Amino acid sequence: MPNVMIRRKDSGELLFYVAKKDLEETIASVQVDTALQWGGEVALTDGSRWYVEPISPPPVFPATLRFRRGEG
Amino acid sequence: MPALTREETLELIQEVLEVYPEKAKKDRAKHLAVNDHDIEQSKKCITSNRKSLPGVMTIRGCAYAGSKGVVWGPIKDMIHISHGPVGCGQYSRAGRRNYYVGHTGVNTFGTMNFTSDFQEKDIVFGGDKKLGKLITELESLFPLSKGISVQSECPIGLIGDDIESVAREQAKALGKPIVPVRCEGFRGVSQSLGHHIANDAIRDWVIGNRDGDERFVATPYDVAIIGDYNIGGDAWSSRILLEEMGLRVVAQWPGDGTLAELELTPKVKLNLIHCYRSMNYISRFMEEKYGIPWMEYNFFGPTKIAESLRKIAARFDESIQAKAEAVIARYQAQSEAVIAKYRPRLEGKKVMLYVGGLRPRHVIGAYEDLGMEVVGTGYEFAHNDDYDRTIKEMGNATLLYDDLTGFELEEIVQRIRPDLVGSGVKEKYLFQKMGIPFRQMHSWDYSGPYHGYDGFAIFARDMDMTINNPCWDKLKAPWVKDAATAAAALAARA
Ligand code: SF4
């Protein structure tokens, strides 16, 4: 369950950063991304998947969240 | 020597690795790569931030070096105690040339070495009492210090001293911030973790000190320079450019930095990061907690400076943007003159770099401004994100290397025979004896500054003076007639 810091890139995309793992990757898709909720399964551009319980109201980025490794 | 093709470079890597046993060869192969612009993510081609192989000679430092030597050491009005045996601090004392203004020993302490000088009895019975006493003594000897940091050396973690509680107690007694840093040398694989630990200590013990204190009068143009170590005055030649474009530099650290500047950083509008590797952690933290955006910039060579100034100005209003253009225009004649003078003498020369946190990629532009080409670059302690940023800066099919061993560096340089090698002091004399011009790119070889437009003039002069130095023709003994015999003699010696 790594601590992940999510911040917005200049281009507007979200960046997924895990200091401990030295991972800095753009988020490709988020399962739930509405005005009320944010989270679920998150896919990164490198193909890996991560999971966080949907959070409501959606967090204000940058924010640090605890993710689980997703399946696949 | 003409530029190598992709295949030739790959072959070179294979040949260099040939001498290793199978397992070591496999491991080291992951750390050497041929640059390929098609690769988006560096982890596909190069492995970094791994433990060095036992038995090889690495150029890395320890976590203590990353915290005391790099991040904390230059904060000039604090006293940094090298807590533990005397050697770690004494042998690294004042080696980094972080310039500062102030009266050393009175209100600034940058080049001094403070240590708790552990003896056997401190290891056996613990050193907490000694640390407390040392801090009281420091206070009576140097009452003008603004704070104290305790930089742990290896034994502290091993014997389990509780430096945090000593720090809290003494901070209360003295009314000054005392920062315990758990940067024991054995933590992590290189000095890089020391940077991270030091950043975390700044976060936990300093950054929030002035939260809720609204006395500081902010302006919309407040920025902080973070991660400029002021080697030979680098931060000063950077700072003036930002000030000329109408920004107010509220804080500048670590180089020539003060505790007050650290504490005021959360009040700025934008954090400017020069050394990403050592300072990204604290910048990310401030972005999350205080909503301060951060950006990386590069003040090496006129092309990158202009690019960075425009990028910085774009974060502000039109008046700043106009002033940034004026700054660029003002210095144009100066840098054109530098290029006109030195480029003809340096054109086409090949450079190999092997340095630390940001220079392996940041100085590429400055060399290119002088018509030179960087054919190989690498870091001692970088992570994937550094290589991600490097791939774009380097030419295709050039060589990338991570945590090179002494043998590999020597071997690669022998084969490529670049016109200039830029690395650290341990490598300097080796390559000079091989007859290859060398610049020490950690401390600018006792020169500098190299940042900013003024720094570029010095950079160009230094490179010219090194590469075109008449001494390189004198390396051949007078009785050796031709180059081939000279090379054979060299090879026989090796
Ligand atoms: S590894 Fe430990 S003993 Fe060696 S310099 Fe670093 S802190 Fe000191």
Angle between helical axes of B6-17 and B22-29 (0-180°, round to 10): 140
Atom of ligand 1 nearest to the CA of B92: 5
Q: Kindly state whether residues B430 and B487 are assigned to the same domain.
A: yes
Residues B456 and B471: their CA atoms lie apart, in Å, by 24
Instruction: Report yes or no on B337 lying in a domain.
Output: no
Task: Return the residue whose CA atom lies nearest to atom 8 of ligand 1.
Answer: B88
Instruction: Report yes or no on B332 lying in a domain.
Output: no
Domain range summary for chain A, segments of one domain joined by +: 3-69
Instruction: Report yes or no on B432 lying in a domain.
Output: yes
| Residue segments in chain B with a per-residue pLDDT below the cut of 70 | 1-2, 482-490, 492-494
| Domains in chain B, number | 3
* Domain's final residue, options B171, B205, B239: B205
Instruction: Report yes or no on B76 lying in a domain.
Output: yes
Instruction: Report yes or no on B211 lying in a domain.
Output: no
Q: What is the DSSP string of B285-336?
A: HHHHHH---EEE---SSHHHHHHHHHHHHTTS-HHHHHHHHHHHHHHHHHHH
Q: How many CB pairs under 8 A join A and B?
A: 24
* Domain's final residue, options B301, B326, B351: B326
Name the residue among B196, B284, B295 with its Cβ closest to that of A5: B284
CA distance B67 to chain A (A): 17
Instruction: Report yes or no on B449 lying in a domain.
Output: yes
* Domain's final residue, options B284, B301, B326: B326
Q: Which residues line ligand 1 (CB under 6 A)?
A: B 62, 64, 88, 153-154, 185
CATH for B304: 3.40.50.1980
Closest Cα in chain A to B193: A20
Determine if residue B246 is left, alpha or beta; phi over 0 gives left, psi from -120 to 50 gives alpha, anything else beta: left
B196 contacts on A by Cβ (under 8 Å): 19
Q: CB under 8 Å to B65, separation ≥6 — which residues?
A: B92, B185, B191, B194
Q: Global pTM?
A: 0.91
B287 contacts on A by Cβ (under 8 Å): 7, 62
pLDDT at A24: 82
Identify the domain containing residue B146 by its residue range.
63-205
Q: Find the B357 Cα to ligand 1 centroid distance in Å.
A: 20
pLDDT at B486: 63
Taking an 8 Å cut-off on Cβ atoms, the answer to whether B384 and A22 are in contact is: yes
Domain A3-69 part of CATH 2.40.50.240: yes
Task: Scan residues 1-60 of A and list those with Cβ closer than 8 Å to B.
Answer: 5, 7, 10, 17, 19, 22-25, 46
| Residue segments in chain A with a per-residue pLDDT below the cut of 50 | none
Q: Kindly state whether residues B352 and B483 are assigned to the same domain.
A: yes
Catalytic residues of B: 62, 65, 96, 195
Residues B85 and B131: their CA atoms lie apart, in Å, by 12
The interface predicted TM-score (ipTM) is 0.78
Q: For residue A54, give both structure tokens.
A: 């949907």
Judge contact between B197 and B58, C-beta under 8 A. Answer: no
Q: Kindly state whether residues B347 and B487 are assigned to the same domain.
A: yes
Q: How far is CA B291 from the centre of its chain?
A: 27
A17 contacts on B by Cβ (under 8 Å): 284
Residues B440 and B409: their CA atoms lie apart, in Å, by 15
Q: Kindly state whether residues B46 and B67 are assigned to the same domain.
A: no
Instruction: Report yes or no on B212 lying in a domain.
Output: no
Instruction: Report yes or no on B334 lying in a domain.
Output: no
Task: Return the residue whose CA atom lies nearest to atom 5 of ligand 1.
Answer: B88
